[in-house]
Structure 1
């Protein structure tokens, strides 16, 4: 048996007529209301966005490799140091 939660919060948004037509067409294709379609797809996308920011699971072997990498001494990487210290083409320091 599924537990149903009462929806008590409201979210308003403005959109173009074309965007509304596209959402309505997609909702109709899935035989849902526009509101249910928008909520389900927005929540799905939000979960994808947050998934790797919340937690990640590793088996014991991979966890040990991860911890070892974190605990390892810093390696000298001259090419990386040069890359990070050289002015960027976007920094505005170049002459035209």
Structure 2
């Protein structure tokens, strides 16, 4: 992640045992509690969101996927009509 000025505050509450563990973890890495918690939170967020942004395929699955992308549209007129239709939330 790019280095940027920290200008947003996050306040959290926890119990003493969790705070102690976090403090010991930060100390073990010779970093501040804030840096330790931010790094841990970012890593967790990336893990949680990974399956929504990335997927892994075998060679055969990838070829089938690419073939499907390269195949001609089965019904171009239907796709055109779909794109021309306004979504209910876009109606004024």
- TM-score range (shorter-chain normalised) is 0.5 to 0.7
Task: Give the TM-score normalised by structure 1.
Answer: 0.58
Q: Which moved more, 1:48-57 or 1:31-40?
A: 48-57
Post-superposition shift, 1:54? 1.3
Deviation of 1:4 after TM superposition, in Å, equals: 2.6
- Aligned pair count reads 67
Mapped to 1, the partners of 2:7 and 2:23 lie a distance apart of 23
Structure 1 residues 28 and 60, CA, compared in 2 at 3 Å: closer, same or farther? Answer: same
Question: How far has the Cα of 1:58 moved from its partner?
Answer: 4.6
Q: Where does the alignment leave 5 or more consecutive residues of structure 2 unmatched?
A: 68-92
Q: Which ranges of structure 1 fall in alignment gaps of 5 or more residues? A: 69-96
In the alignment, the residues of structure 2 paired with residue 5 and residue 59 of structure 1 have an alpha-carbon distance, to the nearest angstrom, of 38
TM-score, scaled relative to structure 2: 0.60
- 2:4 equivalent in structure 1: 5
